[in-house]
Structure 1
């Protein structure tokens, strides 16, 4: 089978055409519980009619050509890479800043910090920032891998790089990025945060650590903050994938803590979805639920950041 035909088949795969075990094993691989050899070996034990091992593996790993919903040169936005001081992190950070064209010092807008998964600032996360700017928010997506040279163009390599880093310094980088947004000349001073996977954890963490800076948090399939939950002031809109047992197992205790501290939160569990269902670059993507979750997120930020 030619490479082009193989790629075409991969792009047509849907979550329903891939056994659930494959998604579970990919999640283990993506979070460092098993190595790539083990992941591929397990996939090889599955019987999937008409599809090769490489086709299924390719469908589960990102194809970022599929992930652009808003073009980087969209006339309604202005995007650039900027460095910022990060005294609480690695000293200097770098991220992708996207500003609506109609926003300026005389027409300010709320801002949203975007936190990536455990592999650096990839094209999907950059597109999320552009989607937010298209919706009228200043969006900033830092790259945790900047101290090591930045996202390397490969999720596998990015994941290995991020594993070597001090997570507390990454948290510090994102905290300083939130401060930058609050103080930005075009910012209204209202700051929200959205994050995915590791970025969901970061969202939960910064909401707890920066109650006077983060005014709303929307974590997607992220684990809870490890401390300071009793300091949370901001409302939360929390998104879960029904089949994501690893993250969902952490929810009951987190919800108990949120209730005990009278945090304003809403939680949504999207049926028959896997961890990463919002990421439109892989077969884990669930278009209907991803669009519903995103509509909810934009409405949530409109409500909490524009008043």
Structure 2
């Protein structure tokens, strides 16, 4: 599956993105997926993941959520948080790229995905900081997004006013959350709070704890990447999308 580099006009500027097309498309409507990046931005590791999704028959869009920072250069997932000045800059980029920004951007992302050939149902999946954005997008655009998945997503039920658990009542689709076994950004109390919110909102959902996995286990260039855990994540994600988007 060849990658197509595109630009997307948003309310705030021009976002770079990658589009990945299935090698062969069935006659039926083709489902689409927005893959919301982790904290280290678009890079070959995410391309590999998008290619795998495309190989299953999805049109996949991987947008750069940090586009407001211009050409910020490649980030090394293994060292970005351990070396200066990258650590300080990256933390600033994460905190300054708000949930509301990504919510607004997602309208343009959805249109770009449609223009790329996603004529069927649309799903979202996010990793790390992208997990909360995948869920908030489903809440913001319930008539467009039929399924939202988060893997090692952080701050899914925190005390901030833009916390995903506060918005789930508007979701019309399905939700899957795969949490790292030990993850300070999504501790057990947040998991319980999110589960309660989803249940009260009568959202079809699964929250699954990947025991023994660290935050970032599913992304191939992560310093805590776990092949067995990553394959388990793929089985869950592909089954989830097959059941909700086909």
Q: Give the TM-score taking structure 2 as reference length.
A: 0.84
Q: Which runs of 5+ in 1 are unaligned?
A: 1-76
- 1:214 is aligned to 2:139: no
2:204 maps to what in 1?
264
User: After the TM superposition, which residues 115-126 of structure 1 pair with which residues of structure 2 at under 5 Å, given as runs?
Assistant: 115-126=36-47
2:238 maps to what in 1?
298
Q: Report the secondary structure of 2:120's partner residue.
A: strand
- 1:169 is aligned to 2:101: yes
Counterpart-to-counterpart distance in 2, 1:172 and 1:151: 21
Change (3 A) 1:227 1:108: same
Q: Report the secondary structure of 1:282's partner residue.
A: coil
- 1:237 is aligned to 2:237: no
Q: Give the TM-score taking structure 1 as reference length.
A: 0.68
The answer to whether the 8 Å contact 2:19/2:116 transfers is no
1:100 maps to what in 2?
22
Q: CA deviation at 1:188?
A: 2.2
The answer to whether the 8 Å contact 1:144/1:162 transfers is no
Counterpart-to-counterpart distance in 2, 1:187 and 1:284: 33
The answer to whether the 8 Å contact 2:7/2:15 transfers is yes
- The number of aligned residues is 226
Q: Report the secondary structure of 2:96's partner residue.
A: coil
The answer to whether the 8 Å contact 1:119/1:162 transfers is no
Change (3 A) 1:241 1:126: same
2:51 maps to what in 1?
130
- 1:82 is aligned to 2:6: yes
The answer to whether the 8 Å contact 1:235/1:264 transfers is yes
Counterpart-to-counterpart distance in 2, 1:147 and 1:196: 20
Change (3 A) 1:302 1:151: farther
Q: Per-residue CA shift, 1:152-193, capped at 9, x if unaligned?
A: 112434725624634122332233202332x32622231000
Q: Which runs of 5+ in 2 are unaligned?
A: 81-85, 157-163
The answer to whether the 8 Å contact 2:182/2:214 transfers is yes
Residue from 117, 128, 142 that aligns with 1:197 = 128
Greater mean deviation of Cα atoms: 250-259 or 215-224: 215-224
Q: CA deviation at 1:292?
A: 0.9
Larger radius of gyration: 1
The answer to whether the 8 Å contact 1:93/1:146 transfers is yes
2:185 maps to what in 1?
246
Counterpart-to-counterpart distance in 2, 1:304 and 1:201: 19
Q: Report the secondary structure of 1:247's partner residue.
A: coil
The answer to whether the 8 Å contact 1:204/1:217 transfers is yes
Counterpart-to-counterpart distance in 1, 2:47 and 2:176: 21
Larger helix share, 1 or 2: 1
The answer to whether the 8 Å contact 2:10/2:108 transfers is yes
